[in-house]
Structure 1
Amino acid sequence: MITNIGQSTFENQLDSMVRECVKGKLETIMKEEMESFLRMNTQNEKTKRMVFTHASWIQDMADWRIYTFHEIAKMSFKPSCFLRTNVEKSG
Protein backbone atom coordinates (compact mmCIF):
# COMPACT_ATOMS: atom_id res chain seq x y z
CA MET A 1 0.00 0.00 0.00
CA ILE A 2 2.83 2.40 0.77
CA THR A 3 4.31 1.59 -2.63
CA ASN A 4 1.09 2.59 -4.35
CA ILE A 5 1.00 5.95 -2.57
CA GLY A 6 4.64 6.58 -3.46
CA GLN A 7 4.10 5.58 -7.07
CA SER A 8 0.97 7.70 -7.28
CA THR A 9 2.86 10.71 -5.90
CA PHE A 10 5.65 10.12 -8.43
CA GLU A 11 3.10 9.84 -11.25
CA ASN A 12 1.42 13.08 -10.14
CA GLN A 13 4.76 14.90 -10.06
CA LEU A 14 5.71 13.52 -13.46
CA ASP A 15 2.27 14.41 -14.83
CA SER A 16 2.56 18.01 -13.60
CA MET A 17 6.10 18.32 -15.06
CA VAL A 18 4.96 16.99 -18.43
CA ARG A 19 1.91 19.26 -18.39
CA GLU A 20 4.10 22.31 -17.70
CA CYS A 21 6.50 21.33 -20.48
CA VAL A 22 3.70 20.74 -22.99
CA LYS A 23 1.96 23.95 -21.92
CA GLY A 24 5.19 25.91 -22.43
CA LYS A 25 5.75 24.37 -25.87
CA LEU A 26 2.15 25.05 -26.94
CA GLU A 27 2.38 28.66 -25.75
CA THR A 28 5.61 29.11 -27.73
CA ILE A 29 4.08 27.56 -30.86
CA MET A 30 0.92 29.67 -30.53
CA LYS A 31 2.97 32.85 -30.04
CA GLU A 32 5.11 32.08 -33.12
CA GLU A 33 2.01 31.28 -35.20
CA MET A 34 0.31 34.51 -34.10
CA GLU A 35 3.41 36.57 -34.93
CA SER A 36 3.67 34.88 -38.32
CA PHE A 37 -0.04 35.43 -39.00
CA LEU A 38 0.17 39.11 -38.06
CA ARG A 39 3.34 39.60 -40.10
CA MET A 40 1.76 38.00 -43.19
CA ASN A 41 -1.50 39.93 -42.82
CA THR A 42 0.41 43.20 -42.44
CA GLN A 43 2.34 42.47 -45.65
CA ASN A 44 -0.86 41.41 -47.43
CA GLU A 45 -2.65 44.59 -46.34
CA LYS A 46 0.22 46.73 -47.65
CA THR A 47 0.10 44.85 -50.97
CA LYS A 48 -3.69 45.18 -51.17
CA ARG A 49 -3.45 48.94 -50.57
CA MET A 50 -0.75 49.27 -53.25
CA VAL A 51 -2.76 47.20 -55.72
CA PHE A 52 -5.93 49.17 -55.00
CA THR A 53 -4.09 52.48 -55.45
CA HIS A 54 -2.55 51.39 -58.74
CA ALA A 55 -5.78 49.78 -59.95
CA SER A 56 -7.65 53.03 -59.25
CA TRP A 57 -4.98 54.97 -61.08
CA ILE A 58 -5.22 52.64 -64.08
CA GLN A 59 -8.97 53.10 -64.34
CA ASP A 60 -8.46 56.86 -64.68
CA MET A 61 -6.28 56.36 -67.75
CA ALA A 62 -7.75 56.84 -71.20
CA ASP A 63 -6.21 53.62 -72.48
CA TRP A 64 -6.11 50.85 -69.87
CA ARG A 65 -6.08 47.11 -69.83
CA ILE A 66 -7.95 44.98 -67.31
CA TYR A 67 -5.79 42.86 -65.06
CA THR A 68 -6.86 40.72 -62.15
CA PHE A 69 -5.51 41.72 -58.77
CA HIS A 70 -3.47 38.52 -58.79
CA GLU A 71 -1.76 39.55 -62.03
CA ILE A 72 -1.14 43.08 -60.76
CA ALA A 73 0.42 41.74 -57.57
CA LYS A 74 2.96 39.77 -59.66
CA MET A 75 4.00 42.83 -61.68
CA SER A 76 6.40 45.58 -60.81
CA PHE A 77 4.50 48.76 -60.05
CA LYS A 78 5.58 50.92 -62.96
CA PRO A 79 2.82 52.77 -64.81
CA SER A 80 4.22 51.57 -68.13
CA CYS A 81 3.60 47.91 -67.27
CA PHE A 82 -0.16 48.52 -67.22
CA LEU A 83 -0.42 50.38 -70.51
CA ARG A 84 -0.55 48.85 -73.94
CA THR A 85 1.93 50.44 -76.31
CA ASN A 86 1.18 51.37 -79.91
CA VAL A 87 3.09 48.28 -81.05
CA GLU A 88 0.88 46.01 -78.94
CA LYS A 89 -2.26 47.73 -80.24
CA SER A 90 -1.35 47.35 -83.89
CA GLY A 91 0.27 43.92 -83.59
Structure 2
Amino acid sequence: MADDLSSFWGPVTSKDWCEQNYVYSSFIAEFFNTISNISGILLALISLINALRQRFEKRFSVLHISNMILAIRSMLYHATLQRL
Protein backbone atom coordinates (compact mmCIF):
# COMPACT_ATOMS: atom_id res chain seq x y z
CA MET A 1 0.00 0.00 0.00
CA ALA A 2 0.99 3.64 -0.39
CA ASP A 3 1.30 4.26 3.38
CA ASP A 4 4.93 3.15 3.50
CA LEU A 5 5.99 5.44 0.64
CA SER A 6 7.59 8.82 1.22
CA SER A 7 7.69 11.86 -1.02
CA PHE A 8 8.94 15.43 -1.09
CA TRP A 9 5.79 16.35 0.87
CA GLY A 10 6.27 13.65 3.52
CA PRO A 11 4.75 10.20 3.91
CA VAL A 12 1.93 9.40 1.49
CA THR A 13 -1.28 9.26 3.56
CA SER A 14 -3.75 8.22 0.86
CA LYS A 15 -4.19 5.30 -1.46
CA ASP A 16 -2.77 5.19 -4.96
CA TRP A 17 -5.18 6.16 -7.73
CA CYS A 18 -5.07 5.63 -11.48
CA GLU A 19 -1.78 7.33 -12.29
CA GLN A 20 1.82 6.39 -11.57
CA ASN A 21 3.32 8.70 -8.98
CA TYR A 22 6.15 11.20 -9.55
CA VAL A 23 6.74 10.25 -13.19
CA TYR A 24 6.98 13.77 -14.68
CA SER A 25 8.04 15.80 -11.63
CA SER A 26 9.60 15.04 -8.28
CA PHE A 27 7.18 17.57 -6.71
CA ILE A 28 3.86 16.45 -8.25
CA ALA A 29 2.61 12.94 -7.46
CA GLU A 30 -0.17 12.57 -10.04
CA PHE A 31 0.81 15.05 -12.73
CA PHE A 32 -2.16 14.91 -15.10
CA ASN A 33 -4.75 14.73 -12.32
CA THR A 34 -3.10 17.82 -10.83
CA ILE A 35 -2.89 19.99 -13.94
CA SER A 36 -6.39 19.04 -15.10
CA ASN A 37 -7.76 21.01 -12.14
CA ILE A 38 -6.41 24.24 -13.65
CA SER A 39 -9.34 24.31 -16.06
CA GLY A 40 -11.80 24.02 -13.16
CA ILE A 41 -10.13 26.88 -11.32
CA LEU A 42 -10.13 29.10 -14.42
CA LEU A 43 -13.75 28.30 -15.26
CA ALA A 44 -14.86 29.11 -11.70
CA LEU A 45 -12.86 32.35 -11.76
CA ILE A 46 -14.34 33.45 -15.10
CA SER A 47 -17.82 32.57 -13.87
CA LEU A 48 -17.27 34.51 -10.65
CA ILE A 49 -16.11 37.58 -12.57
CA ASN A 50 -19.14 37.39 -14.86
CA ALA A 51 -21.51 36.96 -11.92
CA LEU A 52 -20.03 40.02 -10.21
CA ARG A 53 -20.10 42.13 -13.37
CA GLN A 54 -23.72 41.26 -14.07
CA ARG A 55 -24.67 41.78 -10.41
CA PHE A 56 -26.14 38.32 -9.93
CA GLU A 57 -27.43 37.30 -6.53
CA LYS A 58 -24.70 36.53 -3.99
CA ARG A 59 -25.54 32.82 -4.05
CA PHE A 60 -23.98 32.59 -7.52
CA SER A 61 -20.73 34.10 -6.27
CA VAL A 62 -20.72 31.65 -3.36
CA LEU A 63 -21.24 28.79 -5.81
CA HIS A 64 -18.30 29.85 -7.99
CA ILE A 65 -16.02 30.44 -5.01
CA SER A 66 -16.95 27.00 -3.65
CA ASN A 67 -16.13 25.39 -7.00
CA MET A 68 -12.79 27.20 -7.06
CA ILE A 69 -11.94 25.98 -3.55
CA LEU A 70 -12.91 22.44 -4.53
CA ALA A 71 -10.62 22.51 -7.59
CA ILE A 72 -7.72 23.98 -5.59
CA ARG A 73 -8.07 21.32 -2.86
CA SER A 74 -8.27 18.59 -5.50
CA MET A 75 -5.15 19.96 -7.13
CA LEU A 76 -3.29 19.97 -3.82
CA TYR A 77 -4.45 16.45 -3.03
CA HIS A 78 -3.30 14.98 -6.33
CA ALA A 79 -0.01 16.88 -6.19
CA THR A 80 0.89 15.70 -2.69
CA LEU A 81 -1.21 12.57 -2.05
CA GLN A 82 -1.76 13.93 1.45
CA ARG A 83 -5.13 13.90 3.15
CA LEU A 84 -5.93 17.57 3.69
When the two structures are superposed, what TM-score results if normalisation uses the length of structure 1?
A: 0.37
Q: Per residue, is there more helix in 1 or in 2?
A: 1
Taking structure 2 as the reference length, the TM-score comes to 0.39
Greater RCO structure (CA 8 Å; 6+ sep): 2
Q: From the CA coordinates, give the structure whose radius of gyration is larger.
A: 1
Hey, which of these two has a bigger chunk of strand by percent?
Answer: 2
